[in-house]
Amino acid sequence: MTSPKSRVTWERYYRLINSAYPPIDLFEDIADPADWLLLAAAEGKTNPRIAATIGSLDLVPAGRRVGGPGASYLMAPFTHVSPDHQGRFHDGTFGVFYGADGFETALFETIHHTQKFCAATREAPGWIADKRELVGQIDAMLTDIRSDHATLLEPDNYVVPQAFAVAEKAAGSDGIVYPSVRNAGGTCFAAFYPDVMSAPIQGRHLSYHWDGTGIDMIKDLADSAVYAIAP
Higher pLDDT, 31 or 211: 211
Does residue 210 form part of some domain?
no
Does residue 20 form part of some domain?
yes
Helices (H), 56-191: 71-79, 103-120, 159-170
For residues 194 and 109, what is the distance between their CA atoms, to the nearest angstrom? 20
Question: What SS3 string covers 172-194?
Answer: CCCEEEEECCCCCCCEEEEECCC
- Give the domain range for residue 36: 5-102+136-202
Residue 172: how many CB atoms within 10 A of its CB?
7
Does residue 231 form part of some domain?
no
Does residue 215 form part of some domain?
no
Does residue 44 form part of some domain?
yes
Does residue 150 form part of some domain?
yes
Query: Which tens digit of pLDDT belongs to each residue from 126-183?
Result: 999 899 999 999 999 999 999 978 999 999 999 999 999 999 999 999 999 999 999 9
pTM of the model: 0.87
Does residue 195 form part of some domain?
yes
Does residue 209 form part of some domain?
no
Number of compact structural domains in the chain = 1
Task: Give how far Cα 26 sits from Cα of 50, 52, 134, 213, Å.
Answer: 9, 12, 19, 40
Query: Which tens digit of pLDDT belongs to each residue from 66-122?
Result: 888 888 899 989 988 888 889 999 999 999 999 999 999 999 999 999 999 999 999
